Structures are given as structure tokens and as C-alpha cells.
Structure 1
Amino acid sequence: MIGGLAGFQNKGSDWGENLLNSVASNTLRHLFTKCDELEVKVRCHPSSKLLQGSIDSFNMNGKGLVIRKAFRTQEMWFETDAVAIDFSSALKGTIALKQPTQAIAQVSLLEEDINTAFKAQLVRKRLENLTAPTLTELSGGEPVSFTEISLTLLPHNQVQLEANADLGKAGIIPVSLICTLGVERRRRILFKDVQFQADNVPSEHRATSEKLTAVLGETLNHMVDLDRFDLDGVKMRVNRLETQDKTLVFTGYAQIDHVPRVG
């Protein structure tokens, strides 16, 4: 090992940076169910700082990353602040941080992937078999489920959402709304200024559908909390979101206490 470290000092940054790039790539790949592309780059100048575990930054760019088998991101990018690591851990195939660090991050979601996520069990269980008094009054006391959800991204951070409300014996009522996406406390995604779209609902169902629309908006507002999606050792926060054609882009940061061991 001593001879290897001496060789590292003579060869410059390539050996150490390549080692860390490889270890970090393998570590991060294991966090995702699927990964189309993943590139990690370590920046360190002068290279001798690597021996003390001092790194200027880690940069990761991934495409087609699937989280927990159901949530696909079109692209995920982050770059850390200066990082202090235990360099000997890299020689063992892992990365151990000596202290927490922060990273700036950007995540892009395609409209089609958002719609697929609405079918995931983690999401469906928050939209099905609801028993709020406002709903059961409409359904004759039966639980209500919102199904067949379809979301369309619109300019200016707006979205259009269509769904069916299954009222059990009372039948199925279509629901249609337009709202504006926002962020609360950097961790909750809000569906603000919900507007009922009466023209998309048959006239005989409009009164009931308008009430259901309000409930669906409230339900969505309590659904997307980033604390529920944190990776092991990583706390994510959103500073800004923006709809760009058929893509929803989040920018923010992550507090990294340790390199995640599980996704």
C-alpha cells in the first residue's frame, strides 16, 4: 500500500481521481433501480490533497435514473461543495465522509414519467379509499378513490389534471382542474389556485365534480413532501421549479450527512 501511495504522488491526480470516480459511480448506481447513464467527476487541485482526503467537489450527471422501481427522472445533476473524505475507504471500495457537505442539484422529470408515477403503489395509496367527510357525503358513506389520473404540463408552472372519482355505488364522476405548481418551505410541492374546468365535465355531473375537484386539490397538496423521498443520509430541498414544454425542472440543494448506502 505504501508503494502504491508513493506511486500516486509521482503520477499526479489521474490514479486517485480515477479511483474515486469509479468507487463513487459504483456506489451511486446501486441507489437506483435502473440507470441509463451515470457519470461522476472528482475535482481536486493540487492532486496531493487527495491523500489527506480533501476534494474540491464531486459532480454527478445521470440520465434515465429510476428510484424505488417506479419514479423515473429524465436527468439528475448535482455538484458538491468541498468534501472531506476518508481516502482509505476508497481503497476498500466505499466512500466515507469525514463531515457533512452540501450540493446544488437539478432534477428533470418528463410529463410521461410523472403520469407513470401516479400509478405507483406509494402514490395510489394516498389517492384511494379516502374517507374524508366531504367525500363520503357525496358517495353515500363509501370510501372514494381518485383513479385514471392524467397530468399535462402547461406554461408558467401550470398543470392540467384529469381524473375519475370512484364513488362506489354512486358511480364514477370525472374531475378536471387547472392549477399552478409552487413550493412551500422548500420541501412540499403545492398545487395552488385550483380552478375547476366545467367544460370538460358533463353538465349533469358538474356540481358534484366541482366539490370533488376541491378535495383532490387538497389531497395533492399533502402528498408530495420531499422528506418522504429522502435517500439514506441525504436531505433534499427545492428552491425553484419550472415547467419547460413537456418537462418539469426542479433546482435546489441537498444536505449530505453520509454517502447513501440504500436507495
Structure 2
Amino acid sequence: MAPVFDLVVPCYNPAPGWAYHLLSNFQNLQACYPDLALHLILVNDGSTRGILPTDVAFLQDHLRHFTYLHHEANQGKGFAVRRGVQASENPLCLYTDIDFPYTLESMAKIINGLMQAEADILAGVRETEYYAQVPPIRIKISQALQLLTKHLLHLPINDTQCGLKGFNQKGKQVFLKTKTNRYLFDLEFIYLLSKAPSRPSIQPVTVELKPEVTFSRMDAKILFQESFSFLKILFRSSVD
């Protein structure tokens, strides 16, 4: 059975046991679609620890449709996801985090919506309950971004930063035009969609976190870097 769906997963300095957990999560998702072959694209974003040749071999041995990409220097999540999407060869594509933080039901909403051609892009949006599992600083960042995207960029959805999105070839063409390498690549993607001459359709999909998922605090250095990323996107919006 030839795959029709690519799942892109970026990876950087993963926790011990990551390969086993990734395989388990991927197999659980695949079990929901016995008549659909899923292709996993794992992108190692310049990890300095945590990924061994035996980990990659383990996944290669257990997955029929698997691609492993690696670049030497850490470039950021946006860069890694973009590289994975660029390597995607199938009609439909989905990306998420290596720990599969969203429920199977949430991922199924995205997959089903794309298969039924409900829109060119299906973007996860997080429920209010999501913030109960998030450190206060991340809550403030998310809320600030939602206000800025609503009032400055006038985007079709306010929650741009949910790490679960899927798209068809029309959406892929727009995604590959993003330039942001780190945290705000999702925001840039939604912005470019709103300006694309091809007028791709986008549909928000309410998603839920798994109850056991926890988030770490965001490093101050990353916040500083991403403030410049936002200014670049904002400047881009003013000249387009």
C-alpha cells in the first residue's frame, strides 16, 4: 500500500526512550487508519545528544514508510519542519511534535478533514483547558500573540501557534515560502496564507492536549530572538 499522507516530526536533543515512544505513538495513529499508509519523516535538527545510530536503526526496522533527515547545526523548529515538508512527496502532509502532545482524536480531525477536502489547510486551535497545563509565561506569550495577530496582522485565526497543522499541495506551496526558522514559523505561515494569490482555504480545528503533557519554561534568549522574528513578519506585512 503506497502512502498518501506524510507526517513530519522535528527532533532536537530528545529525552531518553524517545524512539520507542515515537514508534508507539505513530503505530497508534496508524492503527486508526488500517487502509491508509502513513509515512513518517523525522528531522534531526542538529541534536548534540540523545540520538544514537541504534535509535534510527530501530525505527527503520519497525517502520515500512520512514525517512530520516539530519543536519549538523541546530537551526530551529521552523527550519526543521520546513525541511521535512520539502522532502514530502505525498498529496497530504501533517506536522506535530515528537512527543505527539495532542490526542489521537485531535490528529484524526486534521487527517479526516484533509482526506474529505474540507479545506486546503486545517490548523489546530487550542481550547481554554490547554492553558491549565502551560507555565504562566507561555500563557502570557500566547495571549499577547493572539492579540497582536488579531489587531495588527488581521489573520483568519488568532491561535497561530498550535503545533498541529495539516495541508494539501496548495497549502504546502505556501508553507515552503516561510523563512522563519524558530518559534514563530506557524505565525508566518498563517500570515502568508492570508495573502496568497491562490487564496487557499483554511479551517480551524479545535484540538486537545493529552492529559500527561507538560511544558517547560521558555528561555529568555529565545523570547528575545523571536521578538525580532515577529518584527520581520510585521514588516513583511507592511510592505506586501
Q: TM-score range by the shorter chain?
A: under 0.3
TM norm structure 1: 0.22
Specify which structure has the bigger relative contact order, considering alpha-carbon pairs within 8 angstroms and separated by 6 or more residues.
Answer: 2
- Larger strand proportion of the pair: 1
Question: Please, what TM-score do these two structures have when normalized by structure 2?
Answer: 0.23
Structure whose residues are more often helix by fraction: 2
